[in-house]
């Protein structure tokens, strides 16, 4: 991975937190793929810091199960099995559905306008001839979390963000790959339904639109064979390269 092109050198004093936030964003936005190995020294050089704050940030991400140390002490993005992915998807539908239902009951006109504006940015991007994948993914996340924030439940929001962090490396596979689902603008259709339901304070309609959005993306990802089986993980095998999302080379072993 070319970290120098993905992160911003740090100059502030709270280095460990800054390193954590940048690595966390890389995972949330799917810029590191499952099974990809990372190097502490490479990350430190890209950020312009010593290895120490990188190690501290990495330990935090390992504790959150967003990164893992393999049996040979190599740092890598965790592999994701089909069963793990399905379980997290089911949990997401329930937690994000709860946040959406609460948001529909509490959202005011100003918040609706802000959410509609985020939706419009996503719609314009996905409708363009050559959508910018990074912008598409960023707009999608901003839209979802703007809705969830309206629930007024900070602990729930933290739980949702934790799940996105664990699933981020594979979550955005369809948006990043320029698939038929994206070309047909299916995510935009679900967002349309979701935003319209919020404007009408239709909690049931909003939750159903959200469920279709999450499940539709999950079903597509599973169908593409980019996840691995539990047997492969137990044996320490690497997954087959993703058809359109995995970069051709991984980073060096951890320092």
In the chain the beta strands, taken as DSSP E runs, fall at: 37-38, 68-69, 75-76
Residue 109 has pLDDT above 90, yes or no: yes
At 124-173, the pLDDT tens digits run 999 998 888 889 999 999 999 999 999 999 999 999 999 999 888 888 77
Both tokens of residue 8? 């911003």
Between CA 76 and CA 74 the distance in angstroms is 6
Between CA 65 and CA 61 the distance in angstroms is 6
Between CA 55 and CA 44 the distance in angstroms is 9
Helix, strand, coil percentages (3-state) for the chain, rounded to 5, are 65, 5, 30
At 208-252, the pLDDT tens digits run 999 999 999 999 889 888 887 654 544 555 554 444 444 333 333
Between CA 159 and CA 157 the distance in angstroms is 5
- The helix/strand/coil state of 47 is helix
Global confidence as pTM: 0.81
Decide the pairing of beta strands 37-38 and 68-69: unpaired
């Amino acid at each position: 991975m070319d970290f120098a092109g993905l992160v911003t050198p740090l100059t502030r004093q709270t280095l460990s937190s800054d390193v954590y936030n940048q690595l966390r964003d890389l995972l949330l936005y799917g810029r590191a793929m499952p099974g990809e190995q990372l190097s502490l020294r490479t990350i430190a050089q890209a950020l312009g810091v010593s290895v120490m704050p990188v190690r501290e940030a990495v330990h935090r991400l390992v504790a959150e199960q967003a990164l893992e140390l393999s049996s040979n002490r190599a740092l890598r993005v965790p592999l994701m099995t089909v069963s793990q992915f399905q379980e997290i998807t089911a949990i997401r539908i329930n937690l994000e559905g709860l946040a959406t239902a609460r948001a529909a009951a509490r959202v005011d006109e100003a918040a609706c306008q802000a959410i509609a504006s985020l939706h419009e940015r996503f719609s314009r991007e996905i409708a363009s001839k050559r959508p910018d994948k990074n912008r598409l993914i960023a707009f999608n996340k901003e839209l979802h979390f703007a809705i969830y924030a309206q629930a007024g439940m900070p602990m729930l929001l933290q739980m949702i963000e934790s799940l996105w962090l664990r699933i981020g490396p594979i979550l955005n596979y369809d948006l990043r790959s320029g698939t038929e689902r994206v070309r047909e603008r299916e995510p935009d259709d679900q967002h349309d339904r979701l935003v319209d339901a919020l404007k009408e304070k239709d909690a049931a309609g909003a939750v159903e639109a959200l469920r279709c959005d999450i499940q539709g993306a999950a079903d597509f990802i599973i169908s593409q064979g980019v996840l691995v089986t539990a047997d492969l993980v137990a044996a320490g095998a690497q997954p087959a390269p993703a058809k359109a999302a995995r970069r051709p080379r991984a980073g060096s072993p951890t320092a």
